[in-house]
Amino acid sequence: MNQEVIIVRGNRALAGDVSVAGAKNSALKLMAASLLGQGVTVLHNVPLISDIEIMSEVLERLGATVVRDGHTLTIDTASVDCCETPYELVSKMRASISVLGPLIGRFGEARVAMPGGCQIGARKIDMHLVGLEALGVHFDVDHGVLEATTPHGMKGTHVYLEFPSVGATENMLMAAVTAEGHTAIENAACEPEIEDLANMLNAMGAKVSGAGSSLIEIEGVPLSAMHPCEHTTVGDRIEAGTFLVGGALTGGPVTVHGIDPAFLRMAIMKLRAMGCDVETGDDWVRVSRTEPLASVDIQTLPHPGFPTDLQAQFMLLAALADDVSVITENVFENRFMFAAELMRMGADVTLDDHHAIVRGVAELEGAPVSSTDLRAGAALVLAGIVADGETSVHHLEHIDRGYEDYVGKLASLGADIRRVSADSVAG
């Protein structure tokens, strides 16, 4: 496919209303959970992004049928008879490892290719395995393929995760719903997407309580008690946060619809600390700013701490703030690759291990830049909106993984932005 680039002319204009899609990080796991339904599950509010296409392919490879109608997916897993996911799909998207738990929950076995590295860090799956082993799952690695079996069935257990890993919590949750007896996951991830997954599992016949807190409890049910359901994905808090940063950059007002403000408590707190006015309603957040941006210190932490997925966007805000901000990345070790691209546009950032010291500058300059990961790509496009001159953002495949019609939504808010083939730019 011909490479495309996003061309942005800095016009500092973003204002109006925008609606976010369903949460990428929820929809992918809900799709995996449909395997436990053994029938026709209907998912609403599913974003039109490339990661969803890959997960659809994973499910189809297992024997499911997946039909999309707008933002609704109909997934029939009744005829799934395979429990192996191949490397070429897992290598495209690490989230496909999330079929491990539901495959074990349904078949008592699974073969899943080991995920390779990731642009923003190794994201080891050790914790997935420790939790599942405690349930009675046995693992072997054969030529890069993780083979899971349950020679004595799965029994409920008590697990304390050494880190509140989202993936490990989700995989263990989806396996434990059909384990015999009571399971408790302590130090579980508390992200809203975990709660969304638990709500869907309960609608399918599972007995999960405590999701959204650090202690999740599961009363196992027989697989025969699990059935398909209809479920609506929660709004994407990271997409929402990205547009709120856009409003903060330009002054707004920008109103983001389709999101529970409680999902963004820490981000909203930091926006206010930087001099923004933030209003909230039941399912919307509005940001505006008339004062200069103030510096802020941020450290990323698991939810309800500041989300690592909004770190690049807030580094951009800090780059244009008065004085010095310090950003500490505690979740992914390579998340600061974005800083080098922002520095090409004139930002003053000094990296020291997992700290970034950001000294505010008066303005940024348009430049050719590359998306280093999903969130960095989105932030670079926002940088182009406030930079002097023209910015071209390359490697859009990263942005396409998690933002539905990003260019169209920004254009609707007033950005001077277009998506073109790389050839036309080179010419």
Please give the angle made by the CA atoms of 407, 409 and 415, to the nearest 5 degrees. 70
Task: Decide if 190 is catalytic.
Answer: no
Hey, which bits of 252-382 come out as E strands? 254-257, 277-280, 284-288, 297-299, 324-328, 348-352, 355-359, 368-370
Are the C-beta atoms of 109 and 132 separated by less than 8 Å?
no
Parallel/antiparallel/unpaired status of strands 158-160 and 297-299: unpaired
Contacts of 111 (CB under 8 A, 6+ apart): 83, 84, 85, 145, 146, 147, 148
Residue indicated by tokens 């496909």: 96
Q: Is 331 annotated as a binding residue?
A: yes
| Both structure tokens of 23 | 């949460």
Which class for 352: exposed (0-12), middle (13-18), buried (19 or more C-beta within 10 A)? exposed
pTM listed for this prediction: 0.94
Residue indicated by tokens 């403000």: 261
What pLDDT shows up at residue 310?
96
Enumerate the H helices of 364-415 as residue ranges: 374-386, 397-400, 406-412
Give the single-character DSSP code of 283. Answer: S
Give the single-character DSSP code of 261. Answer: G
Hey, which bits of 104-160 come out as E strands? 109-113, 138-142, 145-149, 158-160
Strand partners, 16: 254
Supply the angle between the helices 100-107 and 166-176 in degrees, to the nearest 10. 10
| Closest C-alpha among 230, 196, 205 to residue 73 | 230
The pLDDT profile of the chain, 427 residues, written as one tens digit per residue, is 458 999 999 999 999 999 999 999 999 999 999 999 999 999 999 999 999 999 999 999 999 999 999 999 999 999 999 898 888 888 888 777 899 999 999 999 999 887 654 343 444 667 778 899 999 999 988 887 889 999 999 999 999 999 999 999 999 999 999 999 999 999 999 999 999 999 999 999 999 999 999 999 999 999 999 999 999 999 999 999 999 999 999 999 999 999 999 999 999 999 999 999 999 999 999 999 999 999 999 999 999 999 999 999 999 999 999 999 999 999 876 668 899 999 999 999 999 989 999 999 999 999 999 998 889 999 999 999 999 999 999 999 999 999 999 999 999 999 999 999 887 765 4
Among the options 82, 118, 190, 229, which is catalytic? Answer: 118
Strand partners, 388: 365
Q: Is 94 annotated as a binding residue?
A: yes
Q: Is 236 annotated as a binding residue?
A: no
| Both structure tokens of 199 | 């709500």
| Both structure tokens of 48 | 């039109």
